[in-house]
Amino acid sequence: MDLQLKGRVAIITGAGQGIGREIARVLAEEGVKIGVNDFFQDRAERVAQEITARGGLAIGVQADVTDLDQVREMVRKIAETLGPVDILVNNAGVIIEKKTGQVKRSAFVESVPEAWKKEADLNFYGCLNCTHAVLPSMMERKKGSLVSVISEAGRVGEANLAVYSGAKAGILGFTKAIAREVGRHAINANCVALGAVAHEGTKPGLDPEARPETDPKLDKMLKVYPAGRGLGRVGRPSDAAHAVAFLVSPRAEFITGQCLSVSGGFTMVG
């Protein structure tokens, strides 16, 4: 199905690896011009080069999404090079423990305020900064799609991930409010909620190559992922990417203020 996205311009934050990288690649295959954002310039440029090598159009732009000035400069540079931004995918988020490849977990009572701020800044304020930076142009042109990648933890809560859960829940509430504010400008805003997703950035804790028959930890994890149990895997970046591609396309222009779970049935919230 043609998603009618050819020629549009998108920013995907945190797109230097994993889920963001795959979102960038899938949108590029649909003819979208891609602004690849990452905190690390080399990662952003590497993904942009992957896209151009396949015949797409992309630039890599370094920016810390927690810094509004850097975000505004990123948006300006992408608009100047590729054109006005039509699509924003707020993907930058979760803080990963490099040694384990897993989300940092601790009981809230044992946590420290410095850690709260770091998680809230990245997972919540990053979304606010990027949305604030792209909305004026979208409103002026009456054209735009916003998708924020959140976690099922933000919908149902997760023990030992209290601040992360709260930040992701905040994005959901924020998205619904923005959808009400900007709908009259023909802009839609939605979320995609993910469960466990294995990619190169989650090794060794969550290895994309792991299989339940040889990995007892994965086998146990899949008991709470009904579709994952049947498929023998947790989520893949492509699962999220295809959902995002639909939601930012004209095919979904009448869908706004919604949260689509792409988590193999980990949660089934009405």
What would the two tokens of residue 62 be?
Answer: 């370094």
Query: Is 242 exposed, middle or buried (CB count within 10 Å of its CB: 0-12, 13-18, 19+)?
Result: middle
What would the two tokens of residue 265 be?
Answer: 């049935």
Active centre residues (catalytic):
164
Euclidean distance between CA atoms 235 and 223, whole angstroms: 14
